[in-house]
Amino acid sequence: MNKFLRQYDLFNKKDIDFSENNLLQDIFIDKKIIMKWQEQIINHQSTIFKSGYKDVIQSSLFESSLEEINEFFNPVELTPLPLSFWRWPKSMHEGPAVYFVMDQMIDSDENIILYVGETISAEKRWKGEHDCKKYLSSYSDSLQKANVSSKLNIRFWLDVPFNTKERRKLEQKLIQAWLPPFNKETRGIWSTPFTSQIN
């Protein structure tokens, strides 16, 4: 079944403004639908934000074996940067990282992790093409049309394995825990409408 149609099965046609001339670019998602979608993600993620995410498996920087970290980890404690951080003349972060693209709900101060990624080079990863950038653009456009406030940011966790294979294992554990809606592994869980608008 076409991915676009499958993801929009959850919505009533009256909630979405379909344009026959330009179906993908002229979609309007009703404010109530957006807020319900956000609320579902907040309901899942808020308990992890409150208690912190522990027992993350991480490799030692000096050994190839995996060791368990007993301390709590909460992405909210990482420094938020604007999504345009890569245009700054001086890099804030360099080297291997796991990064979190987040949105803060202005009215409630709740946070949503929209995407979790990993990189060998934090200062370069966001410069080029990235599917998540397209989803964020679609998400921002939809929120703006529906008059929903948004505070998008990106946060880098630098205390991660240098080894790419181990860093990707860590990334997958975080994706499985937080279920961010713009990661390909979890898009179907939330029936993410913003990813359906991308060709």
Residue 5: half-sphere exposure toward Cβ, Cα within 13 Å: 2
> Is the distance from CB of 66 to CB of 166 less than 8 angstroms?
yes
Predicted TM-score (pTM) of this structure: 0.75
The pLDDT tens digits for 88-111 are 556 666 789 999 999 998 777 889
The pLDDT tens digits for 129-153 are 667 788 888 898 999 999 988 899 9
The rounded distance, in Å, linking the Cα atoms of 195 and 12 is 18
**3-class DSSP state for residue 180?**
coil
Residue 64 DSSP one-character state: S
Domain ranges of the chain: 3-55+71-196
Sign of CA dihedral 188, 158, 150, 86: negative
The rounded distance, in Å, linking the Cα atoms of 30 and 34 is 6
**Tens of pLDDT, residue by residue, the chain (199 residues):** 444 444 433 334 444 343 344 444 556 788 999 999 999 999 999 988 887 666 444 433 434 333 444 356 789 999 998 887 766 556 666 789 999 999 998 777 889 999 999 999 876 666 666 677 888 888 989 999 999 888 999 999 999 999 999 999 999 999 999 999 999 999 888 877 766 655 4
